[in-house]
Structures are given as C-alpha cells and as structure tokens.
Chain A
Amino acid sequence: MDGLDDIVEEFLVESHENLDQLDTDLVALEQEPDSRERLSSIFRTIHTIKGTSGFLAFHRLEEVTHVGENMLSRLRDGALELTPQRTSVLLRMVDTVRSLLASIEASGGEGSVDVSAVVAEISAAMEDTPAAAAPNPAAEPVPAVAEPAEAVVEVAEVVEAPTAEAPVEPAAVAEAPAPVAEAPAPVAEAPAVPVVPAPRPAPAAEAAPEPEAVADGGSGQARRGVADSTIRVDVDLLDELMLLVGELVLTRNQIVQYVGRSNDTDLVRASQRLNLIASELQEGVMKTRMQPIDHIWSKLPRVVRDLGLQLQKSIRLEMEGRDTELDKTLLEAVKDPLTHLVRNSVDHGVEDAETRIRVGKPAEGVLTLRAKHESGQVVVEVADDGAGIDPARVGAKAVERGLITQEALGRMNPQDVLQLIFLPGFSTAARVTNVSGRGVGMDVVKTNIESIGGTIEVESVPGKGTCTRLRIPLTLAIVPALTVECAGDRYAIPQISLQELVSLDAEKAANAVEEVGGAPVYRLRGELLPLVRLTDVLGLTSDRHDGHVVIAVLRSEGRRFGLVVDRVINTEEIVVKAVGGQLKAIGLYSGATVLGDGTVALILDVQALARRALRTETSERQESREAALQAAATDAERQRMLLAAIGGGRRVAIPLDTVTRLEQVRTESVEKVGNREVVQYRGAILPIVRLDRHLGAYGESDREVLEVIVYSDHGRSVAIVVEEILDIVDGEAAVRSDIDDMGLLGSAVLGDKVTELLDVRAAILAADPAFYSTLPAALTPLTPDGVPASLLEASL
C-alpha cells in the first residue's frame, strides 16, 4: 500500500475504533464513576495508543496519551476522584488524540497539532486544584481551530467514500472538533505522500476508475461532492431490509405463479412489472451490503511478508480482482479461512529459495490471490507456484490414518485423492510450526466455508504449485435452487452444487444405469458416476414406476455423484429459513424454504448428503466385496466383468474392480517415450498398452479415437487400449475353459459368446514393468525430483 506503513495503518484503524468506544465509555463513566471496568477499559485503550505511538515515534501523541494515562491510572487506583471537570479534560484529550490521528492519516505525520495546552490541562486537573486553571485553556483551543479540523474531515471522508462501505471510520474523524492546524501544510512538506488514503479502502479507490482522481488529491470541490453522496447506515437496518426483500421475493414468486394461470392481461402485465421491480430491488439491497474483497485482502501482504521473513522465503503476493464484491457477512466469514490458506501456502506450499533454484524456478515464489464473479458465485483462488501436493502421498497418508481403505483409494483419480486433505483428522498436529499446523486444519477451513454455503476444492500439479479454490455464494439469504420431487414431496437443491441434469427414459435407463459392486453407477461421458437414490437416503419409496430416471449431477468436495430424484420441477430463487433444532440434528437439511405455492420445502444439504450416502455406499461396497472375496474362495467365477472388443472379433473380459475409469483418447495425443507409448492424462504420464497387440489380435490401428480403460493403483495408472467397450456382465454364469494363451487367464462364455479373460497383471506389466515393483512413495513417476520429502510431507 502506498504512503502509509502497514503498521501505522493498522494502528489508525484500531485507534479510531477504540476512540469511538472511549467517548461512550467516558460519558457513561460520569454516570457511574465507580465502574472499575469502564475505567480499566479506557485505561487500556489509551495505554495501547501510547505504547504504539511511542514505538512509531509520534512523540506528541505519546506525550498526550502519557499524561492521560497517568491520570487514568490514578483514577483507576482510586487516588483521584472523577469529577465532571476531569471528565471534560479526558474528553479533550480524546479529541486531541483524534486530531493527531487525523493528521497522521492525512499526511503521515503529526502535523502542527499543538498538544501542550491539553497536556498542561490534564496535569493541572491531576493536582487537586479544582476548576482553577482549567476553564481558560480549555475554552481557547477549541473554537480557534475548529475550522481547520473540518478540512481534515473532508479529506478523510472523501478517500473512504469510493468504497462501498458506509464511512464508519472517518466518522470518528468527522466528529473531531479539536485542533488540527493547517491540514494542507503537511501535504506540502511530504510531497512523496500526496493525500494519503484512509487505511483499508485505498486499493478500492485505485481500482475504481472514476474516483481515482479524487483519491489522488483532486480539488476540494470534487471531494465534497463524493463525501456528501454517502451516508452511514446501520448494518442491522440493512439486515432487516434484506429480510423484507426476501419476503417480497417469496410473495412475488407466489403471485407470479398464480397469475400464470390467469387470463387477465392487465394482471399479467402488473405481475411482470412486480417481478421486475422485485428483482431489481433485491439486487439493489444486496449491493448495499457488498464490500470489495480487498477489505480482507489488504491485511494479507503483511501476513505474507512477515511469514516469508520468518521462514526465510522470498514471496511476492499478487492480487487479481481485488474490487470483487461480496456480502459483508460472507466477507467476515471467509476472512479466517482465507488467511489460513495463505499462511498454509507460504509455510508449506512455496519452497525456500535454495530449493526453488535447484528445481529451476525463480528464487522468488509467487502467491496469487484471484477473485472473480462466476455464474452467481464469487470464486476466490489462492494459488502458489510451490512444490505442489503429491496425490500419492496424500493417499498414503489417508490410508495410514485410516480415513480411507486402500481399495477405495485405488479407485480414485488423483484429483479426488487431493480432496482428502479436507477430511477431519487428516492434518493432525504431527508437525507443529509457529505458522500453521496448530490444530486448525484444512477440515476447519472447509467447515467454515461450507457453513456459508460455499465449497472448496484443491488442485495441484506436483512441482508446479497448488491452487485452492473457494466458491462462495453472493449472499446467504436468497439462493438460486433447483426444486425436485421425490416420493411426492418437493426438495430444494442449491444451484451451487448442481452441475447438470440427466434424464433417461425407461429404455435408456435400463441399459445406462449399471451396477458396480452392488452400487448403481451411470456412465456419464465415459466416467463412472456413482448414483445415490434420494428415496433410499430419506427412507422413502419412490412414486415413479415408469422406469424413467432423473439424475441431478452434484458436486461436493471435489467428488461428483448423481442424485436420483423422481422429477425435476423448477429452478427458482429461494429464501433460506432456518429450521428448528430437531431438524438440524438430522444433518441432511441445511434449512427450509417456502415455495411459490406456499408449501414448505426442505433444502438438501448436498455436502452432508454426499458424506452420508457415499460413505455408506463405500462401506456397503466393501462388505459386498468382502462377501465376494469369500464367495470367490468357493466359486472363483463370481465376478462382474467389463466386456471389450479388441479387434479380430475377439472379446476380452476384464474384472470390473480393476477398472478405475473409461476414457477416450485421441490417437494424435499418443506420444512415445523410448519404445513405449504414453499419453498425457490429468497432469500425469500414462503408459499405454494396446490390448490387440498385447494379445496378438489384429485390430484396426488407424482409429482416430482410442477407447481406453484406465486402471489405477497406489497413485499409478496405466491405460489399456481396446477397440470398443461392449458391456458390463455378471460373470456368475460363466463357463470356463482353461485354454491358456499368453496374457490370458482362460476363457469363458459370457453373454452367449466365448470371451477371453484378461490377465490384468500381465497387461499392466506390459505397459509399465515397474508398476507393482516398489513402494508407491518411492516410485511414483508423478513426484518431481529434487523436492525434498519433508516438504511434500508438510504440504499435505
């Protein structure tokens, strides 16, 4: 920030806040002079200002507060009695402090504020010579300098004005009736510091093109204009307005719905107008509560700098979109999580200079904060160009901590594995540094973000850096939602977690919804999407019997799943109402709302839903897998198989539990490493085995798109290329023969045709001979060389 040192700036903000309280306290103190508590509070405030001003070399400020503190301490100890006259003296001291602060704020220095009169006055008041000398000096300074004080007031107010915030802080300055001499003079003395913007909003002033001239010191007239165009408004009042607007939106929804059935054109027109006006009003009221994200960002350069120094890292903080606005309440709520993420990045993400140079990066690390509006949400990113997070390590640690089973891990893609860092119990205080790891783990960050209806996900490229992305709703009160029907009731799903809708007619659904290990999945563009039936979760019975399947594809914690509902009704803006304690305890509903027709609908908590449904699903699947294993001991044929054609009319069956994902890869993206074929896939290099060649079939090799079966284990993956994915079948009824051939386990009759059973292990080894050989941590090709293991560990 220009001009003002960060420390001074913080000091000013804090002091202004304290001084407001001080006025109230002092007046209240007169009513109850014996209140030890109030006296202590006043004493503390003055003491703090004194301490800091001494430290910052504001000597006059120190002088005033010092005598004030003396007097207060004697009052507090009961050595002096509080008389109205002493209160006046103290109030005058507060005024003087204000003037000094205003001067510091405006010019960076104490200006020519005279403190000797006040000091003398306080000293006199401390002596037990009541009302002797005091009145005279007291009377003088006030009227004499009242006018210059005004000048300072305007400077401060104007600077604050361009921001959305009602000028709360400068108001403290505005009340200052005490001596500030010629405000312009210090400006002239310090040309390097033009008009110093009031502490926090300065960047906003820079960012907003129009007020820039003003902030940079435009004419006095222009300033007055801006200052006059803003007023202070109580936040409570804004909250109240927001509530009322919420009600209005609801009523609007109802009216629009009723009118939709009417033929009265006048009524329809009036309702359309109401619709429009309500929307605009809603937007307007929401705007009043908006503040630029810079309000919380402005503290971060300091955090990064101090932390960097402490850790001996050189880090540059870049900010993009600092004028992005969001609701004040939300802003407060993301402050701590954001600070935590930044600290985390500095501490664990960015490597020290030595390491960076060794891996060929510039010595100076870059931490980038980005904020932008995106489809009705605010997206905030914290990105660093550090060591990144290695999914293999995350996975290993999650397994080690018992948060996930090895099998489940094997099925996850690297992106999903990364999200495990948000699980409670993942980051424990195993490595406590002064900076992070003090028990505030990523799970807390996540909980905080989710509590305001936001989502968080992390992306990382090992060796390149990590990016944590927060999606925050613009406002809490009114959210766009999808209403769905399930077993005759309607439920609302916040749009923030909705990705897409899939509707399948009976015929299609019968084929497209498959079962993997007893759990229903849908193959959505090649990716297996686990399905959760809302009726199952809620313990209801679906009233849809025509076989149609409607899937709402939801995203939670970086995982996708499909929620099967009976019908999709509508999208509408809903007003979130809190539900009583009995319902909160259920943990599936984030609230309730009143729909257009007046009925109450529950709002589904997608995160909780995912956690509940997917976890039970996993454990059920595990049970079924264990059962399958036991069954396998007696009957080796029981297995679900993926059928694939490999060319030459041959069909191969691959056990489904070794399939992580089905993909399509363009032939031209296949590259060569040595004599092996590889393909770049999700930031990793995926070795390829062509099953036709591996098994000696003669497939067409000039296809444009390759059908690929991805198999992952321990964070390593290989791609098995087949000609075509045919089906998923139950291998139960299979008849086996042991015609043995290279790369095959045998053959069986599946789906009325003879099918070869692939020796998956052999196929994988053909693609990646080292696949099974060593421990995952040591061998992962994803881990860049030169990144010390300790850093990787820490970056988890």
Chain B
Amino acid sequence: MTTAQAAAQTAAIGGQLATFWLDGDLYGVEVAHVQEVLKSQGLTRVPLAPAAVAGLINLRGQVVTAIELRERLGRPPRPEGTDAVVIVVRLHGEAVSLLVDAIADVVDVDPADFEAPPDTLDGAGRELIRGAFKLDGHLLLALDVHKAVSA
C-alpha cells in the first residue's frame, strides 16, 4: 500500500485525536469515539474470557467491558504498582473501555502528516494501527478502535 493510498483511505481520521501513552509509545483515537476518561477502576475478572478482556467495570451502574490494550497490542504487561487509566469509548451505541498507561493531550492532526504503519511494528500491533502521524519529535500512532475492541 502506498502512502498516498493509505492516506486517502484514512483521511477521515484527520482532525482531533485523543492521545495516550502505552509502553512508551503515543497512540491516538478519534475524539468523537471517546466518551470519558477515568482513573483506575475496580475490575471484575471474567474467567475464560479472551486474554485481552481485563474485566468488567461499573460505570455509574452500567457494566462495561475493559480491554487491556497492552495485551491487545502484544506489549508486555503493565509494571506492578502502576495503575491503568480507563478510556471509555462508545461504538455503535455500546460502551467499551480501554486500559492504557496514561492519558495525554487532544491533538489536532493534519492528514498530510499521515503515513502507513512503520515497518518496525510487529504483527499483533500492526493489525490495530492504521498508521502514524509524524509530529514534532515523535510519532503518533492512530489506533483502529473498532478492531481494538473486537477482542
């Protein structure tokens, strides 16, 4: 896939991205999908669920599935003693939450800075990354939210 094609395909993701840190990398999801960001929550584990399902969260009386994004992206588990941050996204009317390391700013991105996923990305993560925005100093990886939650 050429850069131009990729950019055309994902042109819609230009605009504002809510960004967060995960295992030293900066990721972004479309602001429109994000419902809210919460501090670490009590999780109820779900035996026999796929590994990426970290558990269930009580979101003001609503039961929301939490996806461990580190697991999903094939990264090592979060170090002991550090709490995850919960990003609640709403897709097709259903709320799902993503566990990430830390939340960062909302960033305006320019589709012109967009490039296909860098070749250095490994298999597990590559599937879920739509591409990278070249920001000053570092890369912002655009997460495919829909794929990320379909664990």
Query: Which positions in A face B, CB cutoff 8 Å?
Result: 247, 250-251, 489, 538-540, 577-580, 582-583, 586, 588-589, 592-594, 598-602
Contacts and interface: CB of A to CB of B under 8 A. Distances in A.
A599 B44 contact: yes
Contacts of A601: 44
Interface stretch (B22-30, B46-54, B101-109): B46-54
Nearest to A602: B46
Nearest to A576: B63
A112 to B, nearest CB: 54
A195 B14 CA distance: 70
B48 A602 contact: no
B103 to A, nearest CB: 22
B58 A598 contact: yes
Contacts of A586: 46, 48-49
A582 B47 contact: no
B46 A539 contact: no
Contacts of A577: 62-63
Nearest to A589: B46
A642 to B, nearest CB: 36
Contact of B49 (A247, A583, A594): A583
A594 B151 contact: no
B48 A489 contact: no
A725 B94 CA distance: 58
Interface in B51-103: 53, 55-58, 61-65, 94, 96
Size bin of chain B's contact surface: 20 to 34
Contacts of B49: 582-583, 586
Q: Is the interface of B mostly helix, strand, loop or mixed?
A: strand
User: Which of B44, B55, B62, B96 has its CB near the most chain A CB atoms (within 10 A)?
Assistant: B44
Nearest to B95: A580
Contacts, number: 61
Contacts of B47: 489, 538-540, 588
Contacts of B94: 580
A19 B48 CA distance: 52
A582 B48 contact: no
A196 B65 CA distance: 55
Contact of A600 (B50, B57, B96): B57
Contacts of A589: 46
B53 to A, nearest CB: 6
Given A251-B61, A586-B46, A602-B44, 10 more contacts: A489-B44, A539-B47, A580-B65, A583-B49, A583-B53, A589-B46, A594-B58, A598-B42, A600-B55, A602-B46
A638 B50 CA distance: 41
A760 to B, nearest CB: 41
Given A247-B61, A600-B44, A582 B56 contact: no
A730 to B, nearest CB: 33
Nearest to B42: A599
Contacts of B151: 582
Nearest to A588: B48
B58 A583 contact: no
A150 to B, nearest CB: 45
Contacts of B61: 247, 250-251, 594
Given A538-B48, A601-B44, A582 B58 contact: no
Given A489-B45, A538-B47, A539-B48, A580 B96 contact: yes
Given A580-B94, A582-B65, A600-B63, A592 B48 contact: no
Contacts of A251: 61
A593 B56 CA distance: 10
Interface string B119-151: 000000000000000000000000000000011
